[in-house]
Amino acid sequence: MSIATLIRNADLYAPEHVGHRDILVAGGKIIALADRLEPNIPGMETIDAAGRAVTPGLIDQHIHVTGGGGEGGWASRCPELNFSSLVKGGVTSFLGVSGTDSMSRSIENLLAKVRGLTVEGASGWMWTSNYAYPATTITGSAKMDIFTIPECLGVKIALGDHRASFPTPDEVLKLLAEIRVAGMLTGKTGFLHIHCGDWGDDIFDPIEYAIRRGIPAKHMRPTHVARHPHVFDRACAFARAGGYIDITTGGGCYQGTAADALFAALEKDVPLERITFSSDGQGSMPRFNEAGEMVGFGVGSINCDLEAIRLLADKLGLEKALKPMTTTIASALGLKGKGRVEVGADADLLIFGKELSLEEVFMKGRQVMSEGKVVVKGAFEE
């Protein structure tokens, strides 16, 4: 790894469109931005962006890094995520999450995987627990996981899903109260990351119940909100009232694509700054018939994040297309130094070619993709 890297002739999207800039990176940080830089640093590497778009790396808050699935029996457990998948997807920061399997997919394993991917070069955090209630934790309590584990930003729960544990509104309220106190004590805010199933319009009842009893909406983060019309309508109302909603890029949107869902939300007067994207990558993609029986399954890919951004960019422009996975999510989760290209920020950078083909990736200043090829792989990748 070079001591410093100078990226010349970038068409910078920070994600705001800044235009021509040189970018100087050292120590994993962006240390200078200017129309023209002439640093004299021994051992510095220079890369000519040649007018290509340079953007922040993507932040994906919902990846099953230890593998999801299992709903179809022993052979249906999805494989773990490898580091190269993050690189190819342009995802430089992520949150690991568990799913249906609260028995063979431990939270301890989740934490270890998050730390492993971070050692390999990415920036990683996690949600403790899974679909189960009471919360499945490492320390024995949700608030202590947030308090004692630096990577733990909050707790996952599932609502409106036949695989969930059907917690009552009062149980959700008590869990939120624990999360809020732990967030206050740690400076993390503390979040309840809510898997929204497709069982109609009662998913937001516990959320609204908690808000009426004094829990701020900033602690509640519903995801998969575009899989059911009733869920989507109430999610949009929640966002208009000041909450954040998360649309899954990896399929399941009843409108079609994640981009279609975002446009539908905008038509319902949801501010763009209240919408985030995540992939559900490496999770199981089960298919059920009308009787609730699983009839097939697949594995989610994080490459759908880039596909969603390309679709958005065609209609909204690249600046706005980037926001759900850069500035908005970084601000929503309090991830300092992430989601922006500015002096002092982490040097998580993407360089795009024609038709937004991903050509170069930097994670904390380290180049991990060059000319469209992964040049830094995980420990057990060939």
Nearest residue to 194 (alpha-carbon basis) of 234, 148, 145? 234
Check the annotation: does 156 bind a ligand: yes
Check the annotation: does 100 bind a ligand: yes
Check the annotation: does 62 bind a ligand: yes
> Measured in Å, how far apart are the chain's first and last C-alpha atoms?
20
Nearest residue to 220 (alpha-carbon basis) of 230, 233, 205? 205
Check the annotation: does 228 bind a ligand: no
Q: Is residue 15 reached through a cis peptide bond, with omega within 30 degrees of 0 on the bond before it?
A: yes
Check the annotation: does 105 bind a ligand: no
Check the annotation: does 219 bind a ligand: no
Q: Mind telling me the catalytic residues?
A: 280
Check the annotation: does 57 bind a ligand: no
Check the annotation: does 45 bind a ligand: no
Q: Alpha helix (H) ranges present in the chain?
A: 83-88, 107-120, 142-148, 169-186, 205-212, 229-240, 258-267, 304-316, 318-322, 327-333
DSSP-derived secondary structure for 245-293: EEEETTS--TTSSHHHHHHHHHHTT--GGGEEEE--BTSB--EE-TTS-
Check the annotation: does 344 bind a ligand: no
Check the annotation: does 154 bind a ligand: no
Binding site residue list for substrate: 69-71, 100, 131, 163, 227, 284
Binding site residue list: 62, 64, 69-71, 100, 131, 156, 163, 195, 224, 227, 280, 284
Binding site residue list for Zn(2+): 62, 64, 156, 195, 224, 280
